[in-house]
Amino acid sequence: MALDPQLLEIIACPDTHRAPLAHDAATGTLTCTECGRRFRVEDDIPVMLLDEARTAPTGPQHTDQEEDR
Ligand SMILES: [Zn+2]
């Protein structure tokens, strides 16, 4: 997975903060340095959609299990 370095310089998080993204070559994803969203890369083209982004695993939310208390 090789992303164009120039592309990395111009793309930013689609959220309002427009933060730069860090490319993770190991997983082939782009991680927002501000909100921690992860964007996948398809065919060397970053999918810069908030709906497609994975939120950071850190945080108080646990979506794996439903707790009813
Ligand atoms: Zn962001």
pLDDT digits (tens, 9 = 90+) for 18-51: 999 999 888 889 999 999 999 999 988 899 999 9
Here the tokens at position 61 are: 């939310």
- On the 0-12 / 13-18 / 19+ scale of CB atoms within 10 A, 55 is middle
Give me ligand 1 centre to Cα 3, in Å.
19
Contacts of residue 1, defined as CB under 8 A and 6 or more positions apart, other chains included, come to 25, 28, 41, 44
How many whole angstroms from 34 Cα to the centroid of ligand 1?
5
**Could you say which architecture CATH assigns to the domain 5-52?**
Single Sheet (2.20)
pTM over 0.85: no
Ligand 1 centre and the CA of 40: distance in Å? 14
User: For residue 67, is pLDDT > 70?
Assistant: no
Q: What is the pLDDT averaged over residues 45-68?
A: 75
- Measure the CA–CA gap between 48 and 5, rounded to whole angstroms: 16
Tell me the CA–centroid distance for residue 56 and ligand 1, in Å: 10
Ligand 1 center–CA 10 separation, angstroms = 14
User: CA-CA distance, 63 to 29, in Å (whole number)?
Assistant: 21
